[in-house]
Structure 1
Amino acid sequence: MTDPKPSRVRGPYAKSAQRASDILDAATTVFATHGYTGGSLRDIARQLDLSLTSIVHHFGTKYELLEAVLERADQTTNGNQEFDFDAACTERGVVAATLERVQSSLERPELLRLFAILAAESSAPTHAAHDWFVTRYRRKIEDLTQAFAFDQQQGRIHEDRDPQMLSRLLIATWDGIQLQWLIDPSHDMNTAMQAFFNWKMPEAVEN
């Protein structure tokens, strides 16, 4: 007796998952264009020719949809393909992992624009995404600090460097260079990030 072939997801469940993905794509476009405040659920529904009820059925509220959009964008390279940045840091070091991530960012300007607009908006404590971005930046700093410390243990970075300060400088530089590229794509993100590493931690580039 042969084992039955694994069944594929079909029917209403597959359709529901696809609909949710379509809504996330449309919401990404709307929020990246108009921000959270300027973009509405009606704008998103209009893009997909759906009813407002259908949007709410999948995500409940505008903020829940925003959070889903941000979480997906933060964990993927182009909205769909996952990129395990932590694993890349462990295997190849922070410098190599960052440059790989920067390269993949060239394929997702809409997601970068989303973060740039919403990060600026959320600097206001009353913004719906304020706490999300506070938590995100704290987590990013903590994760990068651990990754830089691991690089030091592996001999990739000099031991006299402050891992937490390197983390803050990397995030600030990365965000700034991305913003310059979004405003003027003639700026080369790869070259600028490589120059930052050559200046701040040349020994990591050599490794």
Structure 2
Amino acid sequence: MTGPKTAGTRGPYAKSAQRSSDILDAATTVFGTHGYHGGSLRDIARQLDVSLTSIVHHFGSKYELLEAVLERSDGTTSGNEAFDFDAACVERGIVAATLERVHSSVERPELLRLFAILAAESSAPAHPAHEWFVTRYHRKSRELGDAFAYDQQVGRIAPDRDAPLLGRLLIATWDGVQLQWLIDPSFDMDSAMRLFFESAVPEALDSASASSS
């Protein structure tokens, strides 16, 4: 008597999952090079040497593909999918966690470029990704503000700092620093981010340096 045949059910699913991943990779390149309006589904299909029907079968529409690209990329911009930014903030503080992500993000410049181009494009209210980026920036600012507030609770940051404001300033600085690096890779992101923390929360920078030594 033979056991249950599972390989037959996994095979097609695995191939479909791999094709979806390949499409997302190609779309990341196309959107990150030409933007949403400049890049087409045909460009993505041509890059993979597949039919346009295959792209539509997996993602339905250009916007659905864009959303899938953004959702996946938003979780992997560190260059290391296993890196848990929230956990790092709790364990080592927001300064150490941010600098770790800055260091690893240089491994995935295509993702940084994708976000830089699409974020600029989506500033137009009619852009398909406008609401996605509005929601993302609200969420990211709140999460970073919460991380600063947690550091205040555990004594890494002075209690009189404005945590929500620091969250908004950090994401603005971080985006600007990444953009400068994309334009000129000789730009030192690490030094620029350290200078921000040195100006805004020097006590947290001292704490991060002590914990890494």
Q: TM-score, normalised by structure 1?
A: 0.94
Unpaired runs of at least 5, structure 2? 208-213
Q: Which residue of 1 aligns with 2:100?
A: 100
Matched, 1:130 2:130: yes
- Taking the aligned partners of 2:32 and 2:152, their CA distance within structure 1 comes to 37
- Taking the aligned partners of 1:48 and 1:7, their CA distance within structure 2 comes to 26
- Taking the aligned partners of 2:9 and 2:169, their CA distance within structure 1 comes to 45
Q: Is the 8 A contact 2:77 2:112 kept in 1?
A: no
Aligned-residue CA RMSD in angstroms? 1.8
- Taking the aligned partners of 1:79 and 1:93, their CA distance within structure 2 comes to 20
Unpaired runs of at least 5, structure 1? none
- Taking the aligned partners of 1:90 and 1:31, their CA distance within structure 2 comes to 34
Q: Which residue of 1 aligns with 2:43?
A: 43
Distance 1:45 1:185, change over 3 A: same
What secondary structure sits across from 1:127 in the alignment? coil
Q: Which residue of 2 aligns with 1:19?
A: 19
1:185 CA displacement? 0.5
- Taking the aligned partners of 1:26 and 1:106, their CA distance within structure 2 comes to 19
What secondary structure sits across from 1:83 in the alignment? coil
1:195 CA displacement? 1.3
Q: Which residue of 2 aligns with 1:118?
A: 118
1:124 CA displacement? 0.2
Q: Which residue of 2 aligns with 1:173?
A: 173
1:8 CA displacement? 11
1:47 CA displacement? 0.2
The one-letter code sitting in structure 2 at the alignment partner of 1:115 is F
Can you list the C-alpha shifts for 1:42-69, whole angstroms capped at 9, x where unaligned? 0000000011110011111111111111
1:79 CA displacement? 6.5
- Taking the aligned partners of 1:40 and 1:178, their CA distance within structure 2 comes to 26
Equivalent residues in 2 for 1:68-83, closer than 5 Å: 68-77=68-77, 81-83=81-83
- Taking the aligned partners of 2:71 and 2:97, their CA distance within structure 1 comes to 20
Q: Is the 8 A contact 2:80 2:104 kept in 1?
A: no
- Taking the aligned partners of 1:79 and 1:104, their CA distance within structure 2 comes to 6
Distance 1:10 1:78, change over 3 A: farther
Which region of structure 1 is more displaced relative to structure 2, 168-177 or 74-83? 74-83
Distance 1:83 1:28, change over 3 A: same
The one-letter code sitting in structure 1 at the alignment partner of 2:59 is F
Q: Is the 8 A contact 1:103 1:190 kept in 2?
A: yes
Q: Which residue of 1 aligns with 2:163?
A: 163
Q: Which residue of 2 aligns with 1:199?
A: 199
Q: Which residue of 2 aligns with 1:63?
A: 63
- Taking the aligned partners of 1:80 and 1:71, their CA distance within structure 2 comes to 15
* Alignment coverage as a number of residue pairs: 203
- Taking the aligned partners of 1:18 and 1:147, their CA distance within structure 2 comes to 36
- Taking the aligned partners of 2:104 and 2:66, their CA distance within structure 1 comes to 23
- Taking the aligned partners of 2:171 and 2:48, their CA distance within structure 1 comes to 35
Q: TM-score, normalised by structure 2?
A: 0.91
